[in-house]
């Protein structure tokens, strides 16, 4: 067929409209990611690049120096290398954590400067402007030097690209500055284009200081330096020894040296003399095993690839992961907060093993090797509630590898992890959360791991009374059914033990272990002994079984220390028995007293969206027939109020993706209401259509589609699964993944 050569005005206009719609509306999921979300309001995210589950990451470091007060790392408790409000930059750190509550990592700082070499970060630091952040990419203008910095990353390599003006230019590598509380480093200039070394890190939340460990690195430069050197600042000595130390308290500059230098405040400089604008790229491979492995990581992942080629690959990786959930309808802002939240859930846990499979085992007594992926950064007190269930649904292979990593830790350490970080068990927070994560995945069909090993590991944590780091106070818990005020946070800890015991009971039942099923089911309900029927709240008891006095139900809000609770108060823990809400309803006297008390949490402003204990409360109205609309309204209100497309767009610390996972679920219109239970509760989706792609290795269906039918933005009128009314606001995981379409119809 021969096309008509004439193009009418109408056809041309139609073509223009088509082209416009493709260019404007044809964005990929990765294009909606805004890494600035969460960089204010103590969200503790960072805007720099990282690959999905990457070991290496680059963050602008702007939390050092009096110019950044009050949000300065040495002036207050600060757990993030970047704060959006701050404007004084002292470099770009190469390993970072996202959404954690304690300072750690944020080391190996790269900084471009011009003119003479200055090694004091307070003097060479600069204001900055023109920030751009995307999935896998960050750029910024460094005002003082008129240098443009661009950054991307592979899984184990950070890649920096500096555009320098004409004249003398420098690239500093500062090993003294960092967010971590640890000190100590080693560096060696290998040649005019390569540096190798290590930086000691550790002491997360000031726990396990004896377990500080090294992060190794190799840096390669695209252009040979005209001049290079190492600096070392020595401490100032007093007395006789100071008399013969010409360098006492001073910074020693060691020009053109290739010897190994060790110390606390050390670094290197590479200097250039450019007769025109020039670009220098720096690739830094990292490893927790050795310098040799850091070099191999760099060569295998980045090698001779250009900056643009690496960014293109990382963008593609991000887009592939984010495309596992496709949303239609909603505004651009809706899509931005949704896909950024999903992006934040795909940072931690992250890969620990090098490209050759090696990784440090717990306690670092030996080097392990895996043919798969060894994961690290398990903030389980936070993530068991929603982030790991999301992984089981959307990224089951990753979840499987995470569970295998947990079981490897059990082999190495004798215990399942609690809050593991780079093969250091920090034992931060309370409870025994790994059991819940493993059971939740197993009962959702992820069973390609040693289930019986996992079961026996759970039993050890739940039953071994002596020298049990997972469950302090276990003897009293078993004797009384609760922890008394002899222990810190006794009510919170009791509830966490109950939740884990319930999960273990579910797996025991599935495995046919009837006695364990009965035993752990009974244990999971012991919170009832802490229920005060007059207050309709849970409250602490003393070792003599009396109520603790004086008791203030509000004490403990805003993370203040109090007797009875960890990171919360009596209101924020009043309903934290997700496995026994029906039992709690009965305990409170029925549906109305339960609903009234639940509503009161919100009315007296004791609901804390920024913390985990009460994070599921908005969904609990679904347990009261006729009041499900309250969950719909509450979830929508909280999403609108606390999650925005701006730096303060998270309600607080992201807790390695937990707050973000809450948002992902809430915008999709369902939530894993009882961790460990393969069960979801339903609310109103915030997009017209949501398609979740299912992994064929774990699920039978290709995808599950969620649709909404809107009539005046009203309450939910009907919920259909495959065209049939569900007659419930709850759906099992099996029903959900084996269905085709879940349709939510609003009045």
Q: CA 658, CA 669: separation in Å to the nearest integer?
A: 17
Mean pLDDT to the nearest integer, 586-605: 97
Specify the pLDDT at position 209: 77
- Residue with token string 């550790």: 202
Is 236's pLDDT higher than 60? yes
Q: CA 245, CA 48: separation in Å to the nearest integer?
A: 42
- Residue pair 82/61 in contact (Cβ under 8 Å)? The answer is yes
Specify the pLDDT at position 16: 40
* Secondary structure letter of residue 31 according to DSSP: G
For residue 456, the surrounding DSSP H or E stretch is helix 451-463
Mean pLDDT to the nearest integer, 717-731: 95
pLDDT digits (tens, 9 = 90+) for 23-80: 334 689 999 999 999 999 999 999 999 999 999 999 999 999 999 999 999 888 889 9
Number of H helices, E strands in the chain: 18, 35
The better pLDDT of the pair 433, 26 is held by: 433
Specify the pLDDT at position 26: 63
Q: CA 141, CA 158: separation in Å to the nearest integer?
A: 18
CA nearest neighbour of 665 among 385, 330, 382, 375: 385
Confidence of residue 5 (pLDDT cuts 50, 70, 90): very low
Beta bridge partners of 681: 671, 730
CA angle 497, 501, 507 (to 5 degrees): 150
Distant-in-sequence, close-in-space partners of 325: CB < 8 Å, separation ≥ 6: 29, 342, 394, 664, 668, 690, 691, 692, 693
Confidence of residue 104 (pLDDT cuts 50, 70, 90): very high
Mean pLDDT to the nearest integer, 640-656: 97
Mean pLDDT to the nearest integer, 419-446: 95
- Residue pair 503/676 in contact (Cβ under 8 Å)? The answer is yes
Q: CA 300, CA 303: separation in Å to the nearest integer?
A: 6
Is 10's pLDDT higher than 50? no
Distant-in-sequence, close-in-space partners of 301: CB < 8 Å, separation ≥ 6: 154, 155, 156, 157, 285, 355
CA nearest neighbour of 227 among 171, 175, 267, 265: 171
- Residue pair 94/158 in contact (Cβ under 8 Å)? The answer is yes
Specify the pLDDT at position 747: 84
pLDDT digits (tens, 9 = 90+) for 85-103: 999 999 999 999 999 999 9
Phi-psi region of 589 (alpha: psi -120 to 50; beta: other; left: phi over 0): left
Mean pLDDT to the nearest integer, 711-735: 93
Beta bridge partners of 127: 88
Q: Count CA within 13 A, CB hemisphere, residue 338.
A: 25
Distant-in-sequence, close-in-space partners of 123: CB < 8 Å, separation ≥ 6: none
Q: Say if strands 278-287 and 251-255 run parallel, antiparallel, or are unpaired.
A: unpaired
């Amino acid at each position: 067929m021969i096309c008509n050569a004439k193009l009418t005005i109408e056809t041309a206009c139609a073509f223009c409209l088509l082209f416009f719609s493709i260019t404007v509306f044809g964005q990929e999921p990765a294009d909606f990611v805004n890494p600035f979300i969460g960089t204010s309001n103590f969200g503790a995210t960072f805007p720099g690049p990282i690959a999905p589950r990457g070991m290496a990451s680059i963050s602008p470091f702007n939390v050092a120096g009096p110019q950044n007060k009050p949000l300065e790392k040495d002036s207050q408790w600060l757990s993030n290398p970047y704060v959006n409000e701050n404007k004084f930059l002292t470099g770009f750190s190469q390993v970072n954590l996202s959404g954690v509550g304690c300072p750690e990592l944020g080391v190996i700082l790269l900084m471009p400067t011009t003119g003479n070499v200055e090694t004091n970060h307070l003097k060479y630091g600069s204001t900055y402007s023109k920030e751009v952040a995307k999935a896998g990419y960050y750029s910024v203008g460094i005002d003082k030097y008129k240098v443009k910095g661009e950054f991307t990353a592979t899984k184990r390599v950070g890649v920096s690209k500096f555009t320098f003006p004409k004249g003398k230019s420098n690239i500093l590598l500062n090993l003294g500055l960092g967010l971590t509380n640890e000190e100590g480093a080693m560096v060696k200039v290998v040649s005019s284009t390569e540096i190798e070394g290590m930086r000691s890190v550790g002491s997360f939340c000031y726990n396990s200081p004896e377990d500080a460990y090294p992060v190794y690195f190799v840096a390669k430069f695209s252009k040979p330096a005209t001049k290079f050197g190492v600096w070392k600042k020595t401490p100032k000595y007093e007395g006789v020894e100071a008399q013969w130390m010409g360098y006492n308290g001073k910074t020693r500059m060691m020009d053109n040296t290739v010897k190994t230098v060790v110390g606390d405040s050390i670094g290197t400089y590479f200097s250039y003399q450019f007769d025109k604008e020039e670009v220098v790229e720096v690739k830094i491979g990292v490893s927790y095993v050795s310098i040799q492995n850091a070099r191999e990581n760099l060569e295998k992942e980045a090698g001779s690839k250009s900056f643009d080629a690496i960014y293109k690959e990382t963008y593609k990786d991000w887009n592939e992961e984010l495309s596992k959930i496709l949303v239609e309808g909603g505004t651009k802002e809706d899509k931005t907060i949704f896909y950024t939240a999903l992006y934040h859930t795909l940072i931690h846990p992250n890969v620990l093993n090098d490209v050759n499979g090696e990784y440090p085992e717990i306690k670092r007594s030996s080097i392990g090797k895996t043919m798969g992926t060894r994961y690290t950064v398990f903030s389980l007190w936070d993530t068991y509630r929603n982030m790991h269930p999301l992984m089981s649904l959307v990224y089951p292979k990753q979840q499987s590898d995470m569970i295998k990593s947990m079981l490897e830790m059990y082999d190495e350490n004798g215990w399942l992890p609690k809050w593991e970080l780079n093969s250091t068990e920090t034992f931060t927070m309370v409870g025994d959360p790994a059991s819940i994560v493993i059971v939740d995945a197993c009962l959702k069909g992820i069973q390609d791991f040693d289930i019986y090993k996992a079961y026996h590991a759970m039993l050890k944590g739940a039953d071994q009374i002596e020298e049990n780091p997972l469950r302090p106070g276990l003897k009293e818990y078993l004797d009384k059914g609760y922890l008394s005020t002899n222990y810190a946070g006794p009510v919170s800890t009791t509830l966490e033990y109950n939740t884990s015991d319930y999960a273990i009971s579910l797996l025991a039942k599935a495995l046919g272990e009837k006695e364990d099923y009965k035993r752990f089911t009974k244990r999971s309900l012991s919170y009832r002994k802490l229920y005060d029927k007059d207050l309709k709240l849970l409250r602490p008891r003393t070792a003599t079984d009396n109520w603790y006095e004086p008791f203030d139900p509000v004490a403990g809000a805003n993370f203040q220390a109090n007797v009875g609770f960890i990171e919360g108060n009596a209101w924020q823990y009043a309903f934290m028995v997700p496995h026994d809400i029906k039992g709690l309803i009965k305990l409170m006297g029925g549906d109305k007293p339960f609903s009234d008390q639940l509503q009161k949490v919100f009315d007296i402003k004791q609901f804390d969206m920024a913390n985990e204990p009460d994070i599921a409360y908005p969904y609990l109205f679904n347990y009261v027939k006729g009041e499900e609309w309250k969950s719909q309204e509450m979830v929508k209100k909280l999403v609108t109020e606390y999650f925005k497309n701006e730096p303060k767009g998270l309600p607080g610390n992201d807790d390695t993706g937990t707050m973000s996972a809450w948002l992902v679920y809430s915008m999709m219109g369902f939530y894993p209401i009882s961790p460990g239970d393969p069960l979801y509760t339903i609310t109103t989706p915030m997009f017209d259509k949501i398609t979740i792609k299912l992994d064929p290795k774990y699920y039978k269906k290709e995808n599950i589609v969620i649709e909404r039918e809107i009539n005046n933005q009203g309450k939910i009128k009907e919920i259909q699964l495959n065209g049939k009314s569900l007659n419930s606001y709850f759906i099992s995981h099996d029903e959900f993944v084996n269905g085709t379409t879940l349709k939510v119809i609003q009045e």
